[in-house]
Structure 1
Amino acid sequence: MIQIKLISNLIFLLLGSLSFVIGVLGIVLPLLPGVPFLILSALCFAKSSKRLDRKFRRTRLYKKYVRAFLYNKGLTRKEKIRINLIADFFIIMSIIYVDILWVKLVLILLALYKHYYFIVRIKTI
């Protein structure tokens, strides 16, 4: 039982660290959305270690990006647009390169749902 807990903590730690690195890159690079990855890091760090969770919550990245989203339950218009444009680019590229009709239809439905979710469900702050 202790080994399972140790392995799950290690997996959450590795996943949190990886998403943290991607989140930081997303803050710096305009091509990558950073906030979703930082939120994932916060979740993983909370599951892996209380000490690491407290340490992450004291960082400027957490206070500026994650706390703003979690407490305000929304994203800025700029962040919403950036995330949607990047996701749309990859969805469109997938639609162009895939030759299977039902996969194209699923991708189109996914894109439409993504826009609905970002416009209607996520508050703009």
Structure 2
Amino acid sequence: MKRVLYVFLGCVGVGLGAIGAVLPMLPAFPFLMLAAFCFARSSRKLDIWFKNTKLYKNNLEDFAAGKGMTRKTKCKIMLTVTFLMSIGFLMMGLQGIVTGCIVLGCVWIFHLLYFIFGVKTIPVRKGNDV
């Protein structure tokens, strides 16, 4: 049963990652990470297939190998998360939930610090703009 859940979540991750690779507001990276995680735990065949897709190679391969991310990928992730967190921040602020705003603000700051200083920035490979 666990394996079926991992396969399902992996497929959802690939689908959303593919959409995110095309749409500027939806980052592909976290969904592809979900797919890689789920496929690695569910099926060796699916794991090998996924790691040989262009989607994986263009968006996740360098990060998974410990090399880092391109500046464009890092910016896209940070902007998307900032936008989404600002919605939550605004909604909590309107409700007067000060503690929630403080916690969300701290999470946002640590997220930015992690991507700016914790994830290495790599140059764009020829023929790859992601």
Higher helix share: 1
Residue from 109, 116, 121 that aligns with 2:106 = 109
Q: In the comparison of the two structures, how many residue pairs are matched?
A: 119
Which runs of no fewer than 5 residues in structure 1 stay unpaired? 1-6
What is the CA RMSD across the aligned residues, in angstroms? Answer: 1.1
Q: Which amino acid aligns with 2:25?
A: L
Which runs of no fewer than 5 residues in structure 2 stay unpaired? 123-130
Residue from 22, 45, 60 that aligns with 1:28 = 22
1:97 corresponds to: 91
Separation of aligned partners in 1, 2:100 and 2:67: 32
Task: Provide runs of 4+ in structure 1 moved above 6 Å.
Answer: none
TM-score, normalization by structure 2: 0.86
Residues 18-69 of structure 1: per-residue CA shift (max 9 Å, x gap): 1111111110100011022112211211111111111112211122222122
Separation of aligned partners in 2, 1:112 and 1:9: 36
**Alpha-carbon deviation of 1:97?**
1.4
Separation of aligned partners in 1, 2:43 and 2:66: 25
**Does residue 53 of structure 2 align to residue 53 of structure 1?**
no
TM-score, normalization by structure 1: 0.89
**Alpha-carbon deviation of 1:72?**
4.1
Separation of aligned partners in 2, 1:19 and 1:12: 10
Secondary structure of 2:60's partner?
helix
Separation of aligned partners in 2, 1:35 and 1:55: 18
Separation of aligned partners in 1, 2:98 and 2:86: 14
Separation of aligned partners in 2, 1:59 and 1:90: 29
Separation of aligned partners in 2, 1:75 and 1:60: 16
2:77 corresponds to: 83
**Does residue 101 of structure 2 align to residue 118 of structure 1?**
no
